[in-house]
Structure 1
Amino acid sequence: MELSLERTPVPDLLVLRMPVHRDDRGWFKENWQRAKMTAIGLPDFGPVQNNVSFNAHRGATRGFHVEPWDKLVSVTTGRVFAAWVDLRSGSSFGTSFTIEIDPSVTVFVPRGVGNSYQALEDGTAYSYLVNDHWRPGIGYPAVDLGDPDLAVPWPIPLAEAEISEKDRTNPRLADIEPLPGPRTLVLGAGGQLGRALCAELPDAVPVARSGTEHTLDLADPAAVGAWPWQDYDVVLNAAAYTAVDAAETADGRVASWAANATGPAQLARLAREHRFTLVHYSTDYVFDGTHEEHDESEPMSPLGVYGQSKTAGDLAVATAPAHYVLRTSWVIGEGRNFVRTMQDLASRGISPAVVDDQHGRLTFTDELARATRHLVTTNAPYGTYNVTNGGPVTSWADIAREVFRLSGRDPDDVGRTTTAAYSEGKDLAPRPTHSALRLDKLRATGFEPEAAFTALARYCGVSDA
């Protein structure tokens, strides 16, 4: 027999058929072989603890128990009749599956699915690898082994089986509240990108340092340690220090590195430990701007402190097994920003001079949020993706002229200037001359970015531009 994988009616509950090598001395099998098993479709679930339940007598029956981890179950000696019931919310709630397990059969049980078994021989050992450590004081949901709605065909009638008193008093399926599925966490939910992510993903849990129902300070080790990271399968990190010029100051340098480098490094460690997908938002400032367009493979070469701290964060996040780094530029969302400033100037009859030698594309936060949902829900390959709106590369002056036009002003009322002239007498951080990001990799996943000026018109309240 070769190693093979079979799916079951319970989503993500998988049966592995295992080769068992026998001779006169007994048998041998590879009970856990990460490379071979993941190659045929088993999740790389990261086991951290191995438990064995020994059953002295035939008829010993345990479960249904729903434990807060994924597990890979097998028997090391004897045989069992095993049964599972899905207690996760959704259309599969209450779906059950049974199978006889001997040393040649192994079953992967996802979190939220109740596990039970009945020993068919004396001296049966039931083994399971789990991907979280057992902790005292945690109650596990359970279901009545004899629930007529499940009608499990136990080979040994339960009246003749050896069952603990606790398992004899478990509730029926009809009395159980479905368990919530894994959730999405939005860090930095109070910022312009965080608000857009929460609008795009209304079921996500919004978290900020203050001012929201759920607060978390990533700089507080005790708070981070107490946070239930195991409850989330996706963490979106929209928290960042974005004051580019202030980052060049003594205090700003510390704050920038704390938020943009240390925080993401901590999240990457947590992603490895708790196996969630980490989505992190990067910037064109990781480049020096010498290339007219930047693809995802270009070596990073930041000019200033802000770009350097973001570069460090990108490198840290890349150590998480399941990660997306979404690199973006010229972000526009709700709140004060370049477009709103130009609208205000247009309304007050002011004719500004705007930089014409920095080139890029706008990224509206709702488009960035839409791309986030697309990549995560379509299971796009992990890694770094450029994400901006589409359309031609423009300068800041081009954008200002379009805002003036949309506002009913003559675009020629916007003058053009150079970065050097605009910066004269100001203490400004260096900025990349070219910020445009190539979007080929993103498009290859099936996502088509909306043209920046189309989104700009809608943002400015013009339906037909």
Structure 2
Amino acid sequence: MGIEFSKPLTATQTPIPGVILYELPVHGDNRGWFKENWQREKMLALGLPDFVPVQNNISFNEKAGTTRGIHAEPWDKFISVATGKIFGAWVDLRQGPSFGAVFTTVMDPSQAIFIPRGVGNAFQTLEDNTAYTYLVNDHWSADAQGQYTFLNLADEQTAINWPIPLGQAELSEKDKNHPRLAQVTPMAGRKTLVLGADGQLGRALRTLYAGDASVEFAARDGFDLSNPDSYTGRNWRNYATIINAAAYTGVDTAETPAGRTQAWAINATAVADLAKVATAHGITLVHISSDYVFDGTTNLHTEDEALSPLGVYGQSKAAGDLAAATVPRHYIIRTSWVIGDGNNFVATMASLANRGIKPAVVNDQTGRLSFTTDIAAAIKHLIDTGAAHGTYNLSNDGEPQTWADIAADVYELTGHHRADVTGTSTADYFKDKNAAPRPHHSTLDLAKIKATGYTPAPAAQRLREYLAFMSPIT
């Protein structure tokens, strides 16, 4: 039977999750035929992942009955037939509930199939002079073969019904000796790498992902953002996501010569380096931004507001945002007034209250607290749900407050008097101090992240819980 011409481009999900079969339009006449074998724009519209192929391989097979596989490789593949016809067989060898699932079909040049990382690929030629071609999104290397997962073509459990019996087919000795399914170690999924794992957000992420072997945590001694070797000494094909919870947060020291250099190195240059890695390897980059990228002249900040940082810290964070946004798969999480396990405003106010100190606290800066438990949960939500990539504001919910309002709440919740806190202006508080300029309005519009199905808890609720965890509320 010849090639079917002029079929519409269609996509069909197979029984193996992520394995998609495509019918390709082939146009022919008395001279031969032509097809668009891979057309990124049209196929993305049909649900093909933007897998960014970097290498094109062709397997030429002289005789019908040539049988190759079953090999699961550590990259994605887009497979088609250039000439001839094959019986294709695919087995899910990934760790998870679909391990062992099988899909088979006959393919000629009018079909193509997308095979995700970890799905075993095999084919048997049904015609002489068959050319089997595939695009892959990582460069083949000899050391990569050590990460393959193999299954025997004759495995009884998957019971693939080869058109030409394997005893009559042409097989390699290696393929004859691969293990049965019961002896196969499933290919683990791609991992998540959390950077800045010892900071306030890093600690919250450690708690959230506790026991999840697919998540790695790296503090500065495990991944030095300022060291170029950090970006080249890791097999990035094994990672799906980088969560960058590391940052230089010395708002005032960033205004000093040494601090300025460090702020730009960590908040901007390192993010650009991570962006290059993420783009090259198809990794999702999660980056944490700040209300300091704005000048604070707008009462409520939306995600599409133009960047307008006032000081060095804000400028370095804004530069990092621009670098992170170049990654095709990115989430920029813009936060304000972060509170977690570590040194922070709430912990300081609770300490002052318990020591009987009556502080003057700024009352002309307005915003909302962002508790790290909620930031971490929002990050996981965006990743797990596959929300649209882009920038998301994230703070806790509720009415905006000043720092003085929050300090008074802390005093009251710890059994002290609200009146022990007095208000003062930013200008008076920082008079005669070397301080960075602060935005006066830091309230973030939360409509976009709420539209994804995630609603942050009210800041007042989280403040009570946080202080109760620190010490009993009296």
With normalisation by structure 2, the TM-score equals 0.95
> In the alignment, what sits opposite 1:383?
390
Shift of residue 73 of structure 1? 0.6
Alpha-carbon offset, residue 147 of structure 1 = 0.7
Alignment match, 2:185: 177
Task: Give the equivalent residue in structure 2 for 1:420.
Answer: 427
Contact 2:365 2:402 in 1 (8 A): yes
| Counterpart secondary structure, 1:311 | helix
Specify which of 272, 285, 288 is matched with residue 278 of structure 1. 285
Deviation larger for 98-107 or 220-229: 220-229
Find the residue that maps to 1:226 and give its secondary structure.
coil
State the Cα deviation string for residues 304-334 of structure 1 (Å, max 9, x = none).
0000000000011111101111111000000
Match of 1:148 in 2: 156
Partners of 1:141 and 1:349 lie apart in 2 by: 64
Residues 374-393 of structure 1, C-alpha deviations (whole Å, 9 max, x = no match): 11111111111110001011
Task: Tell me how far apart the structure 1 counterparts of residues 201 and 463 of structure 2 sit (CA, whole Å).
Answer: 16
Correspondence for 2:99: 93
Q: Give the structure 2 partner of residue 60 of structure 1.
A: 66
Give 2:3's aligned residue.
none
Q: Deviations over 1:43-87 (max 9, x none)?
A: 111111000000011111000011111001111111010101111
Tell me if structure 2 keeps the 8 A contact 1:50–1:127. Answer: yes
Q: CA RMSD in A?
A: 1.2
Paired position in structure 1 for 2:437: 430
Contact 1:217 1:224 in 2 (8 A): no
* Structure 1: runs of 5+ lacking an equivalent: none
Q: Which amino acid aligns with 1:428?
A: A
Paired amino acid for 1:411: R
Report 1:218-257 matches (<5 A).
Answer: 218-257=225-264
Which segment drifts farther, 195-204 or 129-138? 195-204
Task: Kindly tell me the number of residue pairs found equivalent between the two proteins.
Answer: 461
What is the deviation of 1:218? Answer: 2.6
Q: Pick the aligned partner of 1:40 from 17, 24, 46.
A: 46
| Counterpart in the other structure of 2:168 | 160
SS in 2 for 1:269: helix
Q: Matched residue of 2:96: which SS? A: coil
Give the match for residue 198 of structure 2. 190
Residue identity opposite 1:88 in structure 2 = R
Note the C-alpha offset of 1:221: 2.1
- Aligned residues with identical type, % of pairs: 56
* Residue aligning to 1:460: 467
Match of 1:446 in 2: 453
State the partner residue of 1:326. 333
Contact 1:48 1:130 in 2 (8 A): yes
Look up the match of 1:365.
372
**Cα distance between partner residues in 2 of 1:12 and 1:72:** 12
For the residues of structure 2 that align with 1:439 and 1:19, how far apart are their CA atoms? 44
Q: Structure 2 unaligned runs (5+)? A: 1-6
Aligned counterparts of 1:81 and 1:221: Cα–Cα separation in 2: 47
CA distance in 1, matches of 2:426, 2:283: 42
Distance 1:209 1:393 in 2: 34
The aligned amino acid for 2:385 is T
> d(CA) in 2 for partners of 1:298 and 1:152?
56
Shift of 1:464: 8.6
Tell me the equivalent position of 1:291.
298
Deviates more, 1:369-378 or 1:85-94: 369-378
Per-residue CA deviations over 1:71-119 (Å, capped at 9, x if unaligned) read: 0111111101010111111110011110111011101000000100001
Aligned counterparts of 1:11 and 1:364: Cα–Cα separation in 2: 36
Who is 1:118 aligned against? 124
Query: Moved runs in structure 1, 4+ residues, more than 3 A?
Result: 462-465
User: What's the counterpart of residue 208 of structure 1?
Assistant: 219
Does structure 2 conserve the Cα–Cα contact (< 8 Å) formed by 1:354 and 1:397? yes
Deviation digits for residues 279-325 of structure 1 (CA, Å, limit 9, x no counterpart):
10000000111111111111111010000000000011111101111
